[in-house]
Amino acid sequence: MLTVNNIEVVYSDVILVLKGLSLSCAEGKITTLLGANGAGKSTTLKAISGLLKSEEGEVTEGTIEFMGQKINGKDPEKIVRMGIFQVMEGRRVFEDLDVVENLRCGAYTRSDRAGVKRDMDLVFDYFPRLKDRRHQLSGYLSGGEQQMLAIGRALMARPKLLLLDEPSLGLAPMLVKEIFRIIQKINEEEKTTILLVEQNASLALQVATFGYIMEMGKVVLDGPCEKLRENPDVREFYLGIGEGGTKRSFKNAKHYKRRKRWLS
Amino acid sequence: MSVAHCGDFRQSYRDDMKVLETRFVRVSVGAFLVLLYIFPLLASNYLTSTMTTIGIAVIGALGINIVTGYTGQISLGQGAFMGVGAFACSYFMRIAHLPFWIAMPLAGLATAAVGMVFGLPSARLKGLYLAIATLAAQFILQYLFIHMDAVTGGSNGIQFPPPEIGSFVFDGDRSKYYLTITVAISAVLFTTNLMRSRDGRAFIAVRDHHLSAEIMGVHLFKYRLLSFSVSAFYAGIAGSLWGVYTGYISAEHFTLTESINYLAMIIIGGLGSVLGSIFGAVFMTLLPQFLTVGTGALAQIFPKIGFLIMSLKDGVFGIIVILFLIFEPDGLAHRWRLIKAYWKLYPFSY
């Protein structure tokens, strides 16, 4: 559905961030993109959704195709209308609007009133907490509720592809699990394709079907999530599980760090 | 090493403290300074006095950049603060019979005090609300300039006695140029170092995230007031030099237009950048001059519509400024940084 083909992204003409990155999202599936801080995950999402322009970034090489159409270089508002919706890192709700108004903003690109109303009920169905707080200013919601609102707002646009940038950021483990459960549910029930960027590798690898691991602006490892979960390097560096299959213990004064088996 | 380092190779604290890091930069800045000092010997009086106005603008722009660019408090009173400096300096020289060397810093301090008073709203106000409050400073001061006849000479203005050292009087274009340029260079140096200090970092912290700054222990109100008073001090010095430059000061010069002109300088040059203040001051001083020359020449070629072309000048000025902002939204200093980054790995840009 989405094919990112060998892209290079340069900021301000002088800073090279993505160095030939390729990935693709299968229709109706959750794809996850993992990597350390500064690997270029958010830049990848911004390149897809067209937000790079406002930060003086540019895709200098390669193409991004969405349902057979080239979308790099297009304006973000056009890309939204094609069906790609990005949920930005750090929630970014409209603080001075209440929950319902925020959701209406999400449906800005749509004109079918009945459908919008149906989807609003659907969002409240997924996130009952938002329903309780529907007339509260979103600036007064808790972090978790704001994240729910951000995802709900995305659903209101009925996107074909949902880009989620770190939905677990700053949330309690319980809430993270709940959010991920809902993300999975949305994917199953609405058949929305999802590209999930996450730091929480173990959860992301559980909900997704295919995963990419990025380092220094490149994909260094990809594969179906079951395989990635079994990969000893991923286990060591991303899941924090030692070779014995248990959580690494730091009690042993001397331990030899496994070296990564890929080039970065 | 004479070329720019492609990485961070500083090995001692002394290396770390250097303002000019490579020999190439040191040599070129040194050459530039020498050029500045021999400039009047090579150029005409007209060019020399234009350079003097640029020097004054640099000082004023540095001042407003400290409060607006570095500390993030919009100030719309820079023009009036320059007026305070000019009138105060003239007053100290005429009435108190102080030499210029004492009167100018005193005028700076007086302006700093005035600036501090008008900076008081920054305790509660932020952003555009503060801008409107500082606008009040502009109007109140302008009112005082016209009505405090004893100090300012009212609407007639007042004479500004030329500075003297012993028997040498600074009344020629060249001597005024040397005076201004020396003060301007010290102002640039002082600002650069101020921003590397503990207080300078506090200013920037207040701008970037005032809550985080407060939680580090920065007293917000103190630093906002401090930035207003330092900025006003620069304006006072610039105003005094303006007095020296014109020899006669009146309230007419220190209007809101002047304040906005200074704001425009730092926006075009680059907010929060010493180099940006210089670029902006040069740009905003030279552009009208170029336009005057350009439209004058055009008017001679097309004498029949000459009048029309001359009157287009202000419009063209506005259009150029807007175009500049569209293509360089982060100011000239940002472009300068990008150009430097580009050449670092030439012929590869990254």
Give tens-digit pLDDT for A164-192. Answer: 999 988 888 888 998 999 999 999 998 99
User: Domain for residue B17, yes or no?
Assistant: no
B349 and A13 within 8 Å at the Cβ level: the answer is: yes
Question: According to the model, what pLDDT value does residue B293 have?
Answer: 86
User: Domain for residue B29, yes or no?
Assistant: no
Please give the span between the terminal C-alpha atoms of chain B, in angstroms, as a whole number: 21
Which residue, among B15, B334, B36, has the nearest Cα to B184 in the 3D structure? B36
Task: For residue A10, list chain B residues with Cβ-Cβ distance below 8 A.
Answer: 349-350
Q: Find tokens 């801008």 and name the residue.
A: B131
What does the DSSP 8-state code read for residue B4? P
Question: According to the model, what pLDDT value does residue B1 have?
Answer: 40
**ipTM for the whole complex:** 0.76
Q: What is the DSSP string of chain A?
A: -EEEEEEEEEETTTEEEEEEEEEEE-TTSEEEEEE-TTSSHHHHHHHHHTGGGGGTEEEEEEEEEETTEE-TTS-HHHHHHHTEEEE-TT----TTSBHHHHHHHHTTT---HHHHHHHHHHHHHH-HHHHHTTTSBGGGS-HHHHHHHHHHHHHTT--SEEEEE-TTTT--HHHHHHHHHHHHHHHHHH--EEEEEES-HHHHHHH-SEEEEEETTEEEEEEEHHHHHH-HHHHHHTS-B-TTSSBPPS-SS--PPPPPSS--
Whether A159 contacts A110, CB under 8 Å: no
Looking at the complex, does the CB of residue B340 fall below 8 Å from at least one CB of chain A?
A: no
Whether A7 contacts A72, CB under 8 Å: yes
Please give the span between the terminal C-alpha atoms of chain A, in angstroms, as a whole number: 28
Question: According to the model, what pLDDT value does residue B5 have?
Answer: 62
**Single-letter amino acid code for the residue at B235:** A
User: CATH no. for residue B291?
Assistant: 1.10.3470
Domain housing B174? 43-344
Q: What is the pLDDT of residues B329-344, one digit of tens each?
A: 888 999 898 888 888 7
Q: What is the DSSP string of B74-104?
A: ----HHHHHHHHHHHHHHHHHTS---HHHHH
**Single-letter amino acid code for the residue at B23:** R
**Single-letter amino acid code for the residue at A246:** T
Question: According to the model, what pLDDT value does residue B3 have?
Answer: 56
Task: For residue A13, list chain B residues with Cβ-Cβ distance below 8 A.
Answer: 338, 342, 349-350
User: Domain for residue B122, yes or no?
Assistant: yes
Q: Mean pLDDT across chain B, nearest whole number?
A: 90
Which pair of structure tokens corresponds to residue A79?
């890309």
Q: Which carries the bigger pLDDT value, residue B52 or residue A231?
A: B52
- Mean pLDDT for the stretch of residues B229-251: 95
Rounded Cα gap, residues B76 and A187, in angstroms: 54
What does the DSSP 8-state code read for residue B232? H
Rounded Cα gap, residues B277 and B254, in angstroms: 19
Q: What is the pLDDT of residues B142-186, one digit of tens each?
A: 999 999 888 888 888 899 999 988 888 888 899 999 999 999 999
In this prediction, residue A254 has a pLDDT band, given cuts at 50, 70 and 90, of low
Least confident of A23-37, B72-86, B156-170, B295-309: B295-309
Which pair of structure tokens corresponds to residue B220?
């917000």
Looking at the complex, does the CB of residue B341 fall below 8 Å from at least one CB of chain A?
A: yes
What sign has the CA pseudo-torsion A69, A72, A75, A79?
A: positive
Task: For residue B350, list chain A residues with Cβ-Cβ distance below 8 A.
Answer: 10, 13-16
Least confident of A6-15, A247-256, B262-271, B288-297: A247-256
Is residue B84's pLDDT more than 80? Answer: yes
Which pair of structure tokens corresponds to residue B228?
């207003």
| pTM of the shown model | 0.85
User: Domain for residue B139, yes or no?
Assistant: yes
Whether B171 contacts B159, CB under 8 Å: no
Q: What is the pLDDT of residues A202-226, one digit of tens each?
A: 899 999 999 999 988 999 999 999 9
Which pair of structure tokens corresponds to residue B154?
């009212």
Rounded Cα gap, residues B329 and B340, in angstroms: 18
Q: What is the pLDDT of residues B30-77, one digit of tens each?
A: 999 999 999 999 999 999 999 999 999 999 999 999 999 999 999 999
Task: For residue A15, list chain B residues with Cβ-Cβ distance below 8 A.
Answer: 341, 350
Q: What is the dihedral of CA B277, B326, B67, B247, to 10 degrees?
A: 50
Is residue A260's pLDDT more than 90? Answer: no
Which pair of structure tokens corresponds to residue A169?
């950021």
Question: According to the model, what pLDDT value does residue B300 have?
Answer: 85
B338 and A13 within 8 Å at the Cβ level: the answer is: yes
- Beta strand A2-11 pairing with A15-25: antiparallel
User: Which of B336, B338, B350 should one mutate to test binding to chain A, selecting the residue with the greatest count of A CBs within 10 A?
Assistant: B350
Which pair of structure tokens corresponds to residue A244?
């014995």
User: Domain for residue B47, yes or no?
Assistant: yes
Q: What is the pLDDT of residues B5-23, one digit of tens each?
A: 666 778 888 888 888 878 8
User: Exposure string (b/e) for B271-295, b if CB count within 10 Å is 16 or more?
Assistant: bbbbbbbbbbbbbbbebeeebeeeb
Rounded Cα gap, residues A34 and A190, in angstroms: 24
- Mean pLDDT for the stretch of residues A117-145: 91
Whether B299 contacts B309, CB under 8 Å: yes
Rounded Cα gap, residues A212 and A222, in angstroms: 4
Question: According to the model, what pLDDT value does residue B187 have?
Answer: 96
- Mean pLDDT for the stretch of residues A239-256: 63
B338 and A16 within 8 Å at the Cβ level: the answer is: no
User: Domain for residue B104, yes or no?
Assistant: yes
A14–chain B nearest CA distance, Å: 5
Is residue A264's pLDDT more than 60? Answer: no
B349 and A14 within 8 Å at the Cβ level: the answer is: yes
Which residue, among A175, A196, A197, has the nearest Cα to A187 in the 3D structure? A196
Q: Find tokens 């005193």 and name the residue.
A: B106
- B347 prior amide bond cis, ω within 30: yes
In this prediction, residue B2 has a pLDDT band, given cuts at 50, 70 and 90, of very low
Burial class (CB in 10 A: 0-12, 13-18, 19+), B215: exposed
Q: By a Cβ cutoff of 8 Å, what residues of chain A touch chain B? A: 10, 12-16
B121–chain A nearest CA distance, Å: 25
Q: How many domains does the structure of chain B reveal?
A: 1
Q: What is the pLDDT of residues A98-114, one digit of tens each?
A: 999 999 999 999 888 89
- Mean pLDDT for the stretch of residues B197-226: 94
Q: What is the pLDDT of residues B262-278, one digit of tens each?
A: 999 999 999 999 999 99
Q: Find tokens 């004064």 and name the residue.
A: A253
Question: According to the model, what pLDDT value does residue A121 have?
Answer: 93
**Single-letter amino acid code for the residue at A262:** W
- Mean pLDDT for the stretch of residues B243-253: 92
User: Domain for residue B184, yes or no?
Assistant: yes
Least confident of A6-15, B137-146, B174-183, B298-307: B298-307
Sequence-distant (≥ 6) Cβ neighbours of residue B286 within 8 angstroms = B50, B54
Whether A22 contacts A30, CB under 8 Å: no
User: Which of A14, A18, A19, A53 should one mutate to test binding to chain B, selecting the residue with the greatest count of B CBs within 10 A?
Assistant: A14
Rounded Cα gap, residues B338 and A113, in angstroms: 48
The DSSP element (H or E) to which B248 belongs, if any, is: strand B248-249
Task: For residue B341, list chain A residues with Cβ-Cβ distance below 8 A.
Answer: 12, 14-15
User: Domain for residue B35, yes or no?
Assistant: no
